[in-house]
Structure 1
Amino acid sequence: MKFVSGSILSVSLLAGFLAAAHARAEDAPTAPAPPPACEVPDYFLSGDTPLPKVAEAIKAGGPLNIMVVGSRSSMIGANPSASETAAYPGQMLAALKAKLPVIQVNLSVEIQAKKTAEEVAPGLSKLVEGKKPTLVIWQTGTVDAMRSVDPDDFRAAIDQGVVALRDAGADAILVNPQYSPRTESMISASAYLDNMRVVAQEHEVPLFDRFALMQKWSEAGEFDLFTTVHSAELAKQVHSCLGRALSEFIMAAAHPKPAQEN
């Protein structure tokens, strides 16, 4: 693997600004702000790439077992259990349970803190073997962008991981890095976004474009991601929006019959 050294501290906001916000939650109580609309355009939910295993599980009446493999940006705060319901995986789970009230939907979250895609990919088969998920949601690219990992190495690792998940019998969704307008001048995520898109197309794996969705919400004024102080409430709102959007993305890709939805 080829690295270009850089200051992790100077760009850690990309992966940690939402996670660190939870630590400020106990400073002083504030009145809750109205929830953002965080609308998701239809083209984000096209469902052109199917999730056959998920569709089969829904048709059979469950269970639907989902495993999220991600970095610290999959959490709110440093403690995974403390953010279990508020972070986007938990919000996704709640939304799916509401959409599929007669189906058992289970969630496990595997945090791979500070690991690149190349470091995570070899262990995906073992994770699937142990958890036996119907669907694996692999959120990656943030650490690689922060460390300026060679894009070709990154692409090869994503390819290896997707093949491993498919060979292990699970559906897969790729989730790209989160968007932060304050770090755009410090790091470039475009090569990693492009490579994830290419691998997703080559293997016909759905790509949840978290980066573009957060960028849209930021530019529409849904969230102030430019501020240097990110509150716990902002973190919860962003994660809530991402979780609900991801649940819609999964349902669109699974193409469940209307009678199966709530």
Structure 2
Amino acid sequence: MITAAALALALLLQTAPGACPVSAGHVVANGGLDRSRAAVAAGRLTILAMGSSSIEGVGASRPGLGFVPLLEAGLEQRLPGVEVTVINKGIGGETAKETADRLAAETAAARPDLVIWQLGTNDILRDRPMDDVFADFRRGEAVLDQAGVEVLLIDPQRLPQNTSNPAFRGRNPALAEMARLIELEGGRVGYAVLRRFAAMSDWTGLERGGVGPDDLHLNDEGYACWAGITAEGLAASLR
């Protein structure tokens, strides 16, 4: 059955395929998806999505066009016969500390095969020291490892270079450094990583580069591209 979210994703990606190159190469598995592959082989995959406003779906014109429903639809398209459930537990404004604080309760409730942890953007925008961010990350890592779940880390988004918001101006170098460190940590602990910051550099043909008028939250095209590259890369790693 084709869901409304799946149809919306297909239509959005067809509007500007050159402006949103969907490639599996943005996901690096780091050898950490064996349990999720077994779940796919058994016909049912449960994913818990944690993070801040871009997981929650802030900026989408309607709930079905946010990242989580589009990812679920995209994975079901690419993994025929597999029942995919993506549980949205994003909370706008969260830092790595606040997400780490609730990982234990959310994983216990959802019992997922895979946890998506989107982190880094709000930490940079709030000028949190990198040492503090990665101390929170390692605290969350201990919780996730104890729960026996696999993890896909999603690094920060890219902000518009020409933003008029002084709080966002000049932040991309720090966001890029956060993305680099997240990828290193993923390799160190064997967590899969989605390189969102790097992927967004290819979205120049999208309206506002996939970012809405507030220069922070993604618009419908941005969510469609992000969900498309995540579904493509994750499905390729799980087949």
What TM-score, normalized to structure 1?
0.73
2:186 maps to 200
Counterpart check, 1:179 vs 2:161? no
SS in 2 for 1:225: helix
CA distance in 2, matches of 1:198, 1:184: 26
- Higher gyration radius (CA): 1
Counterpart check, 1:51 vs 2:30? no
Counterpart check, 1:251 vs 2:235? yes
Counterpart check, 1:100 vs 2:88? no
Matched pairs, number: 217
1:74 positional shift: 2.2
2:52 aligned to 54, 66, 71, which one?
A: 71
Distance change (3 Å), C-alpha of 1:171 and 1:147: same
**Structure 1: 5+ residue runs without aligned partners?**
1-31, 257-262
1:39 positional shift: 0.9
Letter in 2 for 1:93: E
What TM-score, normalized to structure 2?
0.80
RMSD: 2.7
Counterpart check, 1:144 vs 2:144? no
CA distance in 2, matches of 1:147, 1:213: 23
Letter in 1 for 2:16: P
1:212 maps to 198
2:16 maps to 36
Of residues 69-78 and 118-127 in structure 1, the stretch that sits farther from structure 2 once superposed is 69-78
Distance change (3 Å), C-alpha of 1:119 and 1:42: closer
**Structure 2: 5+ residue runs without aligned partners?**
1-11
CA distance in 2, matches of 1:113, 1:101: 32
Letter in 2 for 1:177: P
Counterpart check, 1:235 vs 2:219? yes
Distance change (3 Å), C-alpha of 1:227 and 1:159: closer
1:198 positional shift: 2.0
1:222 positional shift: 3.7
Distance change (3 Å), C-alpha of 1:210 and 1:129: same
